[in-house]
Structures are given as C-alpha cells and as structure tokens.
Structure 1
Amino acid sequence: MPADSTMSSIVQRIARQALVTFRSPPRFGEEPSKSFLENHGKLRSLMTEVRAPDLKLVPRRSDDSSPRAPLYHPGAPPVTYMHICETDQFSMGVFLLKSGASIPLHDHPGMHGMLKVLYGKVRISCFDRLERPAGGPQAEPALPPAQMGALRRSVLRSTAEYTEESGPCVLSPDRDNLHQIDAVDGPTAFMDILAPPYDQDEGRDCHYFKVLTEAGPTGSEQKDKEVWLMEISQPSHFWCGGEPYPGPEFP
C-alpha cells in the first residue's frame, strides 16, 4: 500500500470520528451518554495511533535554521499553528513549540479536547475551577479591589509529561479544562482537537491565568491542591503564528 494512502487514512479517520463523537456532546455538568463514551473511546484510540509522519511532519532541532523551518527564524513566534480542518462541531490542527516555549495557562469554556504529542516532550499542568465556598477555609489573596473580580478558586488536577508514545491528554467542560503546556528538552509538536471550536460570539473565548498560590516545586506538585488563579491579559512573551499544514488534505 503506498505510503500516502496510509498517511491519509489515519488523519481522515480521526476527523470523521471527531465529527461523529462531538455531534451531540455532553455539556457542563451533564452525564455523558453511552453512545458518547463509546465514540469518545474510539477517537482516543485513533489519536493514540497517530504519529508525525502521518501528517508529513519532520521533527525539528533546536538549531534548525533551514528555509523549511520558519519557526526558528529570528523574531519568529515561540509557537506556531498548522490548521487542518474546522467544522461547527470541532477544530483540528497542530501546534509547534520552540525549545523552552510555553502555551500559558488558559481555559476552554464549555469545550472538550484531545492533545496528542507527535514528537518531542511536553509537560501539561491541568486545573479546574471550583465554586467559591461561603466562608470557605482558603482565604482569598490580598489584592486591590479592582482585581478581586479576576480571582478564580481552582484545583490542580495533575502535572504530567507526554511524548509520542503517550496516549492523548483529554479535557472536558468540567474536568482538566484549564491547562498550561511547556516544551521539555527541545522542540515539540502536538495534534489538537477542540469541540466545539473557540467562538467569542458563542461565549467560547480563550482566557489566560496565572497561579497566585504556588503549587510546589516542579515534579512534586500535590494532586487536587486548591489554588487561586487570577485572570490576566495574554502574556507578552506568548504569541502564536501560523504556517502551512503539509499533511493529507481534506475535502
């Protein structure tokens, strides 16, 4: 079987399965149906299989300065995005991070998602928002009154490292919905599915946050530790550029 045929099949199968899976996804607080769980499991299995060659991606080096690697040109953004496809139900693409780059802590309002590393390694820290308790045990940080409305009581769910051999990182509207993604030990790329896509008019805008209470040294974070997050503007050190997607085309 020609290589291109194999490459096309897995990426297009993922897109078709995503369309089926997210046609009627559970919303925040809803119990997922048996049908959704079955289709979600199929999508997760397909995402586990995908590799960089399936999208015609060649892993990049930290010192790569060839014309085919615009990510490393002087003044280039720390993160770039390759758009694969988008429907009303989901969007799919590839993020490429330079060595040492991060996608800051951000949310996915009312959205499901899957992230699969294609090469390199990333560290992902996942948080969830919590309802503010009336007179709860955790005191709010002392901030100017104008900033108090930006506080979000949250919980650190997990911090883990992912490689191309790992299964996908999965998020839902009410679990692991906020996360930060850091490139570890060199450049990395990951395939990303969000359902439904970001849409500011529909209330699905991306918000950025910073941790006001430290979650502990890297590698020893306490799972389910409650923290205070503060909503902030997009950090000045982060911006995302675009580059062409070289893989299989979609009708």
Structure 2
Amino acid sequence: MFIRLLLIKKKRCKRKVRIQVKRPEKLVSMTLQRLFDSCQQVFKGPGTVPSPSDVQRLCHILDVMRPEDVGLSKDLQFFQPNSVVVEGNPRVTYATIYECHNFSLCILFLPETAVIPLHNHPGMTVFSKLLLGTMNIKSYDWADPLNSDNHDSPSKLKLARLKANRSFTAPCDTSVLFPTSGGNIHEFTAVTPCAVLDVLGPPYSKDDGRDCSYYSDTSFGSSSNKEEFPKVEDDGHCYGWLEEIEMPQESEMDGIPYGGPQIDESIS
C-alpha cells in the first residue's frame, strides 16, 4: 500500500496513531488529476464563490472518487473498527495533497471516536468527500448571517440554525458548504475510523483574515438570555445557541507528508 497506518508504542505505555508514508516512484490518478485541473479553473481566489454549475462539476468528480485515487485501501488495519486502541482523545492526522492561494486539497484521518470540534470556515467554500468509514456530521448556519460577527452583542451566545446532524457511511455523496450557508460551522465525529478528502477554496489563512474559530453549542430554549435575540418563528427548523470558545485541545492535528498518487501541475 502507498500509505500505511501503524500503532507506535510510546513512553509510559501511551499509544498514538501514526501514519507511515511510502512514496512510490511514479503513480498517477486520472481522477485526482481531473479534480486538480477543475479546481484550478473553478476557484478564482478570496472573496469569490464558485457558480452553481462549477459546484456541480466538482461534485461530479468527487462523488466517484475512491480511496485508491489517493493511495488508500479499506483493507488497511487503521480502517478496521476497534483495531486501533488510543488512550485519551484520539488525535486527527492530515496530509496535504496540494495548496495554493486559491484552494487546497487534503486528507483527514480520524481514528474511531475522534472529534474535530465545531468550527467555522470564514469566506470559504468547502467540499468534503468521505472516502472510508462512518462519520457523524453536525452543522449550523447563522440565523442572522449579517450580524454573526457583531462582537458588541450583549451576549456571547448567537442563534444558529441546525443544518444537519446525522451519520454518513462511505461511499456517499459529497457535502458542500458555502461562506454563509450549507452548514458553514460543522463538527466531525468518527463512528468508525475515517478518511475524508477536503477541498477548501480558498484555504485557511490567518494573515488574510480566514482564521478558524471554535464554538460550543446549546439546544434552543435552554438559554436564559433568549429574550435578547429575535423571536424564532415556527418554521420547522431546529436551532441552537453557539458561543465562541478557545481552541479545544482535541482540535490539534498531526501533519504528515502525502504519499499517494501525484499531481502534474505542468499539464494544467
């Protein structure tokens, strides 16, 4: 296999998931190359959102992508339920396939029970393709997007509309979120070991004002300050109160080199 995931025994008998990458001499995935070429054309830079036809174009490519297109296999020990025992909060690992000013391609590896806490994607359009495993995705959009960044609010709580809260099992369709819709604030919880291919346009950049913020959520109706917010009509939607928090410890990730099929930039 091109990417092998191993258990390494550490000091004090603590175990940590580590991914060992073996780079092939030459390997090309036409589907991955097609995705890269399309991203080069679709993402125009910060402040822009892909057109509906371009969103559909990328989804058509991602929907048919297989683990083998990025050098993975469901037969790897890492992806067998209960095969990896980790003490404490399992850490998420990521491998960057490609990154530029306009977009990035990366793979997230989540051990069983691992969580990527509730976080946002400011000014970004994000395509997430679950390649392996079963994952629960919970996502929100601000009920009032125009005032979501109002730091002068009398309360730290802000009302958000629940977009999704359910489990997905690979293979499944690609999920897409936009700067102000589609579940821009979301949380991943690995029901089984998972691999997710993420396409971000543009990528996170603290220097450009696209830093990641984290949130805790409380079900609607449990806040004593709800009178300070606009009245919520009975529109059939579920709501929650979100409060920005410091970066949770479990949000820290370990980066590794990408060792799967390569991208040829010269033909773009």
User: TM-score scaled by structure 1?
Assistant: 0.77
Q: What are the residue-to-residue correspondences of 1:74-85 with 2, within 5 Å?
A: 78-85=91-98
| Residues 195-230 of structure 1: CA deviation (Å, up to 9, x unaligned) | 1010112111100001122699xxxxx973122100
Q: Report the AA paired with residue 163 of structure 1.
A: T
C-alpha displacement at 1:83, in angstroms? 0.6
Q: How far is 1:133 from its partner? A: 11
TM-score w.r.t. the length of structure 2 is 0.72
Q: How far apart, CA to CA, are the structure 1 residues paired with 2:146 and 2:125?
A: 26
Is 1:170 paired with 2:183? Answer: no
2:16 corresponds in structure 1 to none
Partners of 1:105 and 1:172 in 2: how far apart? 16
C-alpha distance in 1 between matches for 2:166 and 2:65: 20
**Equivalent residue for 1:235, pick from 238, 245, 248:** 248
State the secondary structure of the residue aligned to 1:57: coil
| Equivalent position SS for 1:165 | coil
Compute the RMSD of aligned alpha carbons: 3.1
User: Which whole-Å CA distance do the structure 2 matches of 1:171 and 1:75 have between them?
Assistant: 31
In structure 2, the CA distance between the partners of 1:50 and 1:169, relative to structure 1 (3 Å rule), is: same
Q: Which has the higher strand share?
A: 2
In structure 2, C-alpha distance between the alignment counterparts of 1:215 and 1:102, rounded to whole Å = 26
Q: 1:119 aligns with which of 125, 132, 138?
A: 132
2:70 matches 1:55: yes
Residues 1:235 and 1:214: Cα distance change in structure 2 (over 3 Å): farther
CA deviations on 1:137-187 (whole Å, 9 max, x unpaired) are xxxxxxxxx995532221101223222221111100111111011111x20
Of residues 116-125 and 56-65 in structure 1, the stretch that sits farther from structure 2 once superposed is 56-65
The residue type equivalent to 1:23 in the other structure is K
Partner of 1:207: 213
Cα distance in 1, alignment partners of residues 253 and 112 from structure 2: 15
Letter in 2 for 1:12: Q
**Post-superposition, which runs of at least 4 consecutive aligned residues in structure 1 deviate over 4 A?**
4-7, 24-27, 62-65, 72-77, 146-149
Q: Which amino acid aligns with 1:191?
A: L
Conserved in 1, the CA contact under 8 Å of 2:47 and 2:123? no
Aligned AA (2:124):
M
Residue 108 (structure 1) shift:
0.3
Q: Give me the whole-angstrom Cα distance separating, in 2, the residues matched to 1:200 and 1:24.
A: 15
Mind listing any 5+ residue stretches in structure 1 that lack a counterpart?
A: 66-71, 135-145, 217-221
Aligned counterparts of 1:158 and 1:75: Cα–Cα separation in 2:
27
Amino acid at match of 1:39: D
How far off its partner does 1:10 sit?
0.5
Match of 1:129 among 142, 159, 162: 142
CA offsets 1:104-138 (integer angstroms, 9 cap, x no match): 1000011101000111011111101122899xxxx
Which residue pairs with 1:158 in the alignment? Answer: 164
- The 1:180/1:117 distance shift into structure 2, 3 A limit, reads same
C-alpha contact 1:116 1:167 (8 A) present in aligned 2: yes
